Structure 1
Amino acid sequence: MHPKDLKIENFTYDLPNEKIAYAPVDPRDSSKILLYQNGTISQDIYRNISDHLPEDAVLVFNDTKVIKSRIFFQRPTGAVIEVFCLEPYGENSNYEDFFQQKGSALWTCLVGKIGKWKEKQLSKTILVNDKEVLLSVEIVDKLTDSYVIKFTWTPEEIAFGEIIDHAGVTPLPPYIKRIADKKDEETYQTVYSEHEGSVAAPTAGLHFTPAIFEKLKEKNIPSLFTTLHVGAGTFMPVKSDTMEGHHMHSEYMNITLAFLDQLYNSLDKTVISVGTTSTRTLESIFWMGNKIINCPEISYEDLKVSQWEPYETENISEAKDAVKALYGWIQKQGLDHISIETEIIIAPSYTYKIVKGLVTNFHQPQSTLLLLVSALIGEEWHKIYDYALQNDFRFLSYGDGSLLLP
């Protein structure tokens, strides 16, 4: 069956409110982990995850960093307008360049209480390193379901990365009905986060600590790091009856030659992605490389993986050949990395090309993330989620997780 024909009603379950985690456990590696191996289910805590990994395991992490993307402005009337930064607006897809912009920046944003925004500009004064900064926003354009917002600030020599870090608050998931506090700035960030750009955390990685990485090192289990900037679309519910009516959100990946070299040398081992975002990145790498093999002169623009492409491609290569092809193509462009979007949707009938196991949290009913899990373990997802519900596992972003080895 083509995943277009999948009915989302077949990917639902009853999730009581009391099963949702509204705050993390402390310490983070004391979270429970469900272990699914060879069809059997058991449990432990994350601190012991290395005891349950195959000897030839290679873990792949998403080292994106969550930005304080929720910025509040108060009108003279007292009404509060929320500007939620989604992604940079413009041709340049290199996120690091956007965060270095000075004086002004264009971003695609959601706007809360847009009907109350009557002024051309909204402004507020913030402190950046003990220096007063006047930050202003204005609407430049209206998109289908968002706005292009121009940020301007004085003094101009301050980079946008510092502006957003001091002006905004951490964007907790929409089902956590509270404003993030100081503690969330630490707990809603992985300990290995490095590259700014996400508006949601790669939550499977929230459980990992330096102590876990030390254990992995002792057992000679490599940890590889790549980057996909998680967008707000990760929380977007599927509203259509079948998947054909659902438009999969795009997310930016930053893929380096160094990472591709490490990945190529790991493909004979058990590659386990930590999180659905790492999974999307790894599988997108395959499909980009496969496109290059079929069309060596492909343009940068055409390299992007579209939603249904994996299900409608006839000539399919081996994983090693695909990774090698992408490495060679990037090198041929005179680059050491590419920043590019992916729209890949991973759903039942999908055959994984690189990923052989998955570390992930428990996802919302009728979500594309649940489809991704089902593509890996099939109908067993029902059994796994039933076990988690009956054994007091905590669900969603701040919840517990699972190690899935089909």
Structure 2
Amino acid sequence: MNPDLELSQFDYELPPELIAQSPAAHRADSRLLHLDAGGCLHDRVFTDLPQLLQPGDLLVFNDTRVIKARLNGCKESGGKVEVLIERIIAPDRALAHVKASKSPRAGSRLLLANAFAVEVAGRQGELFDLVFPERVLDLLDRHGTTPLPPYIEHAAESEDEARYQTVYAREPGAVAAPTAGLHFDERMLERLKAQGVGQAFVTLHVGAGTFQPVRVRKVADHIMHAERYAVPPDTLSKVRETMAAGGRVVAVGTTSVRALESAAAQLASRGDAAPFETLEGDTRLFITPGYQFAWVDALITNFHLPQSTLLMLVSALAGMAPIRRAYTHAVHSRYRFFSYGDAMFIESSAS
């Protein structure tokens, strides 16, 4: 990591009205800003994506499923609490962010959704260890609400339950959507498959830490949040075959990038050429300019918050100056930003 990078180098001015508060009428209706390998910008629409991909390319999707991770309730003393599940660590246990006027103590109980009580077993750093009376996922499905990002101003509605979820989501565990995948519908997936573009899946359970601001001046001093990832053998084989044949590995979303690059690092450290089991673990991989990508050649992504780790990641792939130009252009051209916003197709500056 470049020790001289400063947070101010990843800032930009964003008019608040460009933050998308609701999704497009249809998933593939969004605009698409293409940043090619030479640093040139092209204004497109998302349905143009097949024109930017070639037979033999491989799209890698994150199949995590957003859980209804937000719960409201009260302490035994009557004080209000807001609970946001961060990670399920056992069938009846989860780590969570708890907002309250006074932090609950170990051994105390929280009544949630006027329906059930959880016990506070203790803390792990900023997170509270909560014990549920039955399976966490079952209780969340019945009583929780969709955890929309903090910059979306309305409370979660029925539309959000469907649209803040990819059409291929299958592994429950995320508390934020892998938003680049929100643009894909079944028609687009079939169109790309018929074109000869491969498809593979990883799982990375996106945590609430993805929205945490970077609070240090020197980027190298930032401590990255941990997220659970898994890359199955089938995906590893497809990546290896694509690279050997000269195709491109195209990550759908920054979470797919982090899963793939974490698996590449894990594989390199083990020295295995062809593992027969899933590569998985917790990753704190922090990708900043200067990072050498092992597997990822291109990226489909949304527009990211100023001074965020995700903006640093896309700057590592395309170069800081091209990303700065792209974001300036996107603001001037009134693209829609963040989770429900428009998309980018970014080709590596090294490709």
**TM-score for the superposition, normalised by structure 2:** 0.92
Aligned 8 A contact 1:81 1:117 in 2? no
Separation of aligned partners in 1, 2:77 and 2:29: 47
Is the partner of 1:179 in helix, strand or coil? coil
Aligned 8 A contact 1:361 1:400 in 2? yes
Aligned 8 A contact 2:18 2:335 in 1? yes
Separation of aligned partners in 2, 1:122 and 1:241: 38
Of residues 286, 289, 295 in structure 2, which corresponds to 1:345? 286
Of residues 365, 383, 389 in structure 1, which corresponds to 2:331? 389
The corresponding residue for 1:150 is 131
The corresponding residue for 1:29 is 28
Aligned 8 A contact 1:138 1:149 in 2? yes
- Structure 2: stretches of 5+ with no match in the other structure: none
**1:247 offset after TM fit, Å?**
0.3
Aligned 8 A contact 1:137 1:152 in 2? yes
The corresponding residue for 2:71 is 71
Runs of 4+ in structure 1 over 6 Å off: none
The corresponding residue for 2:149 is 173
The corresponding residue for 2:85 is 85
CA-to-partner distance for each residue in 1:217-236, whole Å, 9 max, x for gaps?
12111111111111111111
1:286 correspondence with 2:285: no
Of residues 254, 260, 263 in structure 2, which corresponds to 1:276? 254
Higher alpha-carbon Rg: 1
Q: 1:123 to 1:272 in 2, by over 3 A?
A: same
**1:142 offset after TM fit, Å?**
2.3
The corresponding residue for 1:302 is none
The corresponding residue for 1:367 is 308
CA-to-partner distance for each residue in 1:191-245, whole Å, 9 max, x for gaps?
1101001010000000000111111012111111111111111111110000222
Matches within 5 A, 1:189-268: 189-267=165-243, 268=246
Aligned 8 A contact 1:61 1:205 in 2? yes
The corresponding residue for 1:136 is 117
Is the partner of 1:192 in helix, strand or coil? coil
Separation of aligned partners in 1, 2:112 and 2:41: 53
Give the partner amino acid of 1:58.
L
Q: 1:165 to 1:383 in 2, by over 3 A?
A: same
Aligned length: 343
**1:84 offset after TM fit, Å?**
0.9
Aligned 8 A contact 2:20 2:338 in 1? yes
Aligned 8 A contact 2:300 2:346 in 1? yes
Q: 1:75 to 1:344 in 2, by over 3 A?
A: closer
Aligned 8 A contact 1:3 1:244 in 2? yes
Give the partner amino acid of 2:206.
V
Separation of aligned partners in 2, 1:170 and 1:220: 35
**TM-score for the superposition, normalised by structure 1:** 0.80
Aligned 8 A contact 1:362 1:396 in 2? yes
- Structure 1: stretches of 5+ with no match in the other structure: 90-97, 127-133, 154-158, 294-324
Give the partner amino acid of 2:269.
K
